Structure 1
Amino acid sequence: MNILIVHAHPESKSFTTALKDKAQCVFEEQGHSVEVSDLYAMNFNPIASQNDFANLNQPEYFNYALEQRHAYKQNSLAPDIQVEIEKIKRADLLIFSFPLYWTSVPAILKGWIDRVFVSGLFYGGKRFYNHGGMAGKKAMLCFTLGGRDYMFGENAIHGSIAEYLSPIQRGTLAYAGFEVLPPFIAYHVPYISNEDRQNILINFEAYLNDLQNLEPLTFPLIENFDEKMRPLP
């Protein structure tokens, strides 16, 4: 299996990085091939702009998604975007490794998604959910946060963690066709003991070793398209 870990943490000694390193180690010991896109180490540019295209198809009015679609067809995307797309094409499993910031991913990871999940390949036309461009691939989240686990739930102070994750798990990964595995969440990380952190790493290793037995999250399946929908370009 080929695995791509997209890692978004600025500190190499962080526990988020320790989780990323653990995943890489476990997968390589299992004989899998692992690539890592360490976004901060790469100084990845998260800003979607006209600079992402060698030339514009419609210079009179800039529409980023339409320019993505045109540039992908013409093989004229910015080189850093194309490199990341090729990594995803090789991957059977995509893992996002990050700290939860304001109920979402860090800006550098959001920018990576904006620029790399290009229209015309990942989504667009009739490409969405089980018909998305990444159908047949798996994805999962591995992230850290400061809150305690009991703070999250239907009647808890912060509400359901699933609601926090819906934009990334449903609106991004599942929408693009990925089969989404349950996330691995490390709670209260900045405030726990080193022993507790080591226990989380042990639990994470067990989680990864049981990955093939995890039930994917459930999202809509598109059985019949509306005849009025535009066909795939």
Structure 2
Amino acid sequence: MTENTTEQTTPRARAGGRRVLIVHAHPDARSLTAALAGLAAEELRGAGHQVRTSDLYAMKWKATTDADDFPGWPRDDRLDVMGASHHAHDTGTLTADVREEQEKLRWADAVIIQFPLWWFSVPAILKGWLDRVFGADFAYGPGVRPYGGGELAGRRVLLSVTHGAGAPSVGPRGIHGPLSELLFPIQHGVLFFTGMSVLEPFTVPKAPELDEAGFRAVAAAYRARLAGLFTERPLPYRRLTEEDYTRELELRLGRERPGASGLGLHLA
């Protein structure tokens, strides 16, 4: 095996539970990120669901995309990553680690991505997971309809994010910018682009200051969100339709909600 994967099934899960993939990224197994990932796995299994996990640091996930990802690509040719990704998919030469993660995504009914916000983005190892796993002809390409279609359509996805800032500083008037906009490139640009139904993120502000009482409150709030993983209404991102967008992929005038601007234009 090239990964740290766990899968447990209960009789209730076999009878009617759903399948959930938890992907998490933190270098310390004693971290809040790891604790929340473990809590989610325990809670979901207790509710009768099947759970698999990808602990990227424990797996020693290769974060960089390079020629080693495409063993079938001619070494004397310039590395065209998109073209090489298409070629690897078509010829069955994807590396084993990428194939395994893609298969887990195909298996899942829902995905939870657990990570700390580092420099306004995901940890590099998680970005590398997105870069390498969400490859051509699997997550994008000529045969994959972006923003609402594709092989990953129908899967729910929840970002569970810890960060050090206070809630007001990532609010509508916060100096860091609204958290919804900080997460937009991941939620809309990667996950919704590839057809997934994106839920409102679960966020933990001031994570380094969390004490035991604070963790108990966070755990209770997280359990409540997990209970709605398959019933909660996803964010109403606009699908890519000719009714809403021009051929240049620009939102048509008059389609926006009253008062909407910026990234909010793409919420129906």
TM-score by length of 2: 0.81
- What are the within-5 Å matches in structure 2 for residues 114-133 of structure 1? 114-125=131-142, 126-133=144-151
Do structure 1's residue 147 and structure 2's residue 165 form an aligned pair? yes
Higher mean Cα deviation, 9-18 or 124-133?
124-133
| Equivalent residue runs for 1:50-69 within 5 Å | 50-56=67-73, 59-69=76-86
* Alpha-carbon distance in 2 for matches of 1:51, 1:159: 38
Asked whether the 8 Å contact 1:94–1:138 carries over to 2, the reply is yes
| Alignment match, 1:185 | 203
Verify: 1:137 aligned to 2:165, yes or no.
no
**How far has the Cα of 1:67 moved from its partner?**
0.9
2:30 maps to 13
Query: What's 1:210 paired with?
Result: 228
Question: 1:93-124 deviations in whole A, cap 9, x for unaligned?
Answer: 11111100011000000001100001111111
Task: Determine if the alignment matches structure 1 residue 2 to structure 2 residue 19.
Answer: yes
CA distance in 2, matches of 1:195, 1:226: 51
Q: CA deviation at 1:138?
A: 1.2
Q: Shift of residue 213 of structure 1?
A: 3.3
CA-CA distance at 1:212 after TM superposition: 3.1
Task: Name the Cα RMSD after superposition.
Answer: 1.9
Q: Give the direction of change, closer, same or farther, for the CA distance of 1:130–1:196 in structure 2 (3 Å limit).
A: same
The structure with the largest helix share of the pair is: 1
CA, structure 1 residues 227+60, in 2 after alignment: closer, same or farther (shift >3 Å)? same
Could you say what secondary structure the match of 1:42 adopts? coil
TM-fit CA distance, 1:58: 8.3
Cα distance per residue 1:69-116 (max 9 Å; x no partner): 111111101111111111111011111111000110000000011000
Residues 58 and 51 (structure 1), Cα distance of their counterparts in 2 relative to 1, 3 Å cut: closer
- Supply the distance in 1 between the matched residues of 2:87 and 2:145 (Cα, whole angstroms): 16
CA contact (8 A) 2:156 2:230 kept: no
Q: Deviations over 1:53-75 (max 9, x none)?
A: 22116852211111111111111
Does the Cα contact within 8 Å between 1:99 and 1:105 map onto a contact in 2? yes
**Does the aligned pair in 2 maintain the 1:127–1:133 contact within 8 Å?**
no
- Helix, strand or coil at the partner of 1:41: coil
Distance 1:82 1:105 in 2: 22
**Partner residue in 1 for 2:90:** 73
Change (3 A) 1:59 1:138: farther
Describe how 1:25-40 pairs up with structure 2 within 5 A.
25-40=42-57
How many residue pairs were aligned?
229
Letter of the 2:152 counterpart: M
**Paired residue for 1:231?**
none
In 2, Cα distance between equivalents of 1:186 and 1:105: 15
Write the mapping of 1:91-110 to structure 2, written as runs, cut at 5 A. 91-110=108-127
Structure 2 residue ranges without an equivalent (≥5): 1-17, 249-268
Q: Distance in 2 between matches of 1:171 and 1:18?
A: 28
Q: Which amino acid in structure 2 is aligned with residue 42 of structure 1?
A: M
Q: For the residues of structure 1 that align with 2:87 and 2:141, how far apart are their CA atoms?
A: 12
Deviating more after overlay: 52-61 vs 20-29: 52-61
Q: Which is bigger in relative contact order (C-alpha 8 A, separation at least 6)?
A: 1
CA spacing shift, 1:69–1:58, aligned 2, 3 Å:
farther
Is it true that 1:86 corresponds to 2:103 in the alignment? yes
Measure the CA separation in 2 of the matches of 1:195 and 1:166: 31
Taking the aligned partners of 2:187 and 2:39, their CA distance within structure 1 comes to 22
Shift of 1:35: 0.5
